[in-house]
Amino acid sequence: MVRAIENNLNDQLGMIELAEAEGDAALVADAEKSLYSLKAEVAKRELESLLSGELDGNDCYLQVNAGAGGTEAQDWASMIFRMYMRWADQRGYKISLMDKQDGEVAGLKSAILEVKGENAYGWLKSESGVHRLVRISPYDSNAKRHTSFCSVAVTPVIDENIDIKIEDKDLRVDTYRSGGAGGQHVNKTESAIRLTHLPTGIVVACQAERSQHKNRYAAMQLLKAKLYDREVRMRDAEKQQREDLKTDIGFGHQIRSYVLHPYQMVKDLRTGYQTSDTGGVLDGGLDEFLQSNLAHKLTAEKNGGTAPKVAYEDLE
């Protein structure tokens, strides 16, 4: 890849030199345009070079949980979940819904998605944390402004050769009927599985398959991934500072704010990157935020491990 970029650079510089000698302004403009594209490609590759962690290239699980606030928070959780599904689809990633608990009126209480694709975990791992929404609630007849929260947790799909031992005595296994509208089988048999790891309190569930055996296997893989991620976080002082699933879903813990009223703004509170294109972001346009987090990390590495802290702003 580096050699290809170097060859392209030399070709374009040679083209400009030749075009200037012949007085061909159009050819010079075309070559300069190619150089700008090449510059963007180099910047992209520099960022992607940071996706070199042990598990960055792996697939991942993405879990969304609604915060306190009933229907309003559950609707926000469904919006965030749709945002990630749209983002994954736009990148050509394969997505599988493992579990989903719908809200009583609208939205969802929680949902788990498996995302399969190159560097899926590397790109999405920075999304773990609390996401905050400010808007005029469509569920408030008085049209008052509401603040809602939901949490996102991203864990890597671990390889089979990573041995995570789980004792039967440490597990509580619950079965229940799969949710959703479809099928004679899906609602009449208790094929869905919920596993609770008693020592840590970690709970996982899967209802994607009709077979209880397959759902149990998928849930065990997810549980192993969460236990592995928990162990890594405990060993890594930097990762200990990241939010986990037991963090309160509320003020003071958010990583990003989405303001739809009284103005349009999405702002990452770690890097300071912001945009007024709220519709585009909620429709899956997350690349600029993901890249800004990688750039933030690149700046930290160049500064000896530290990067400027972004002060929290009250975006209300």
Instruction: State whether 170 and 213 are in the same domain.
Output: yes
Are 248 and 125 within one domain? yes
Q: Classify the C-alpha dihedral 119-215-224-97 as positive or negative.
A: positive
Q: Is 238 found in the same domain as 93?
A: yes
Report the C-alpha gap between 213 and 89 in whole angstroms.
28
Which of 26, 48, 70 is the endpoint of a domain? 48
The encoded tokens of residue 1 equal 């890849």
| Structural domain includes residue 141 | yes
Q: What pairs with residue 204 in β-bridges?
A: 195
Burial of 224 (0-12, 13-18, 19+ CB in 10 A): buried
- 313 is a domain residue: no
- The CA distance from 277 to 280, in Å, is 5
Residue 308 is assigned to a structural domain of this protein: no
At 46 the pLDDT is 73
SS3 state at 113:
strand
Q: Say whether both 192 and 67 belong to one domain.
A: yes
65 shares a domain with 16: no
Q: Are residues 35 and 177 in the same domain?
A: no
In a domain, 213, yes or no: yes
Per-residue confidence (pLDDT) for residue 91, from 0 to 100:
93
Residue 54 within a domain = no
* One-letter amino acid of 47: L
pLDDT tens digit at each of 316 positions of the chain: 678 878 888 888 888 888 888 888 888 888 888 888 888 778 777 767 778 778 899 999 999 999 988 899 999 999 999 999 999 999 999 999 999 999 999 999 999 999 999 999 999 999 999 999 999 988 887 888 999 999 999 999 987 767 788 999 999 999 988 765 444 444 557 889 999 999 999 999 999 888 999 999 999 999 999 998 888 877 764 544 544 444 566 655 689 999 999 999 999 999 999 999 999 999 999 999 998 888 887 676 666 555 544 433 333 3
Strands 60-66, 108-116: pairing kind: antiparallel
- pLDDT reported for residue 49: 74
123 and 85, same structural domain? yes
Residues 6 and 142 in one domain: no
Q: Give the H or E element holding residue 15.
A: helix 2-22
Residue 155 lies in a domain: yes
Total-model pTM: 0.74
**Are residues 277 and 176 located together in one domain of the fold?**
yes
CA distance 62 to 152: 7
Buried b (16+ CB within 10 A) or exposed e, 228-257: bbbeeeeeeeeeeeebbbeeebeeeebbbb
Question: How many structural domains are present in the chain?
Answer: 2
The structure tokens listed for 148 are 């809602």
If asked whether residues 142 and 230 sit together in one domain, one would say: yes
Range of the structural domain that residue 259 is part of: 60-302
- Rounded Cα distance, 132 and 73, in Å: 10
Report the 3 state secondary structure along 37-96: HHHHHHHHHHHHCCCCCCCCCCCEEEEEEECCCCHHHHHHHHHHHHHHHHHHHHCCCEEE
CATH number at residue 278: 3.30.70.1660
- Clarify whether residues 246 and 117 are in a common domain: yes
Tell whether 271 is covered by a domain: yes
Grouping H, G, I as helix, E, B as strand and the rest as coil, residue 32 is helix
Residue 268: inside a domain, yes or no? yes
Q: Looking up tokens 């690349």, which residue turns up?
A: 287
pLDDT of residue 37: 87
Judgement on whether residues 74 and 29 belong to the same structural domain of the protein: no
**Could you give the CA distance from residue 226 to residue 228 in angstroms, rounded to a whole number?**
5
Residue 215: phi, psi to the nearest 5? -65, -40
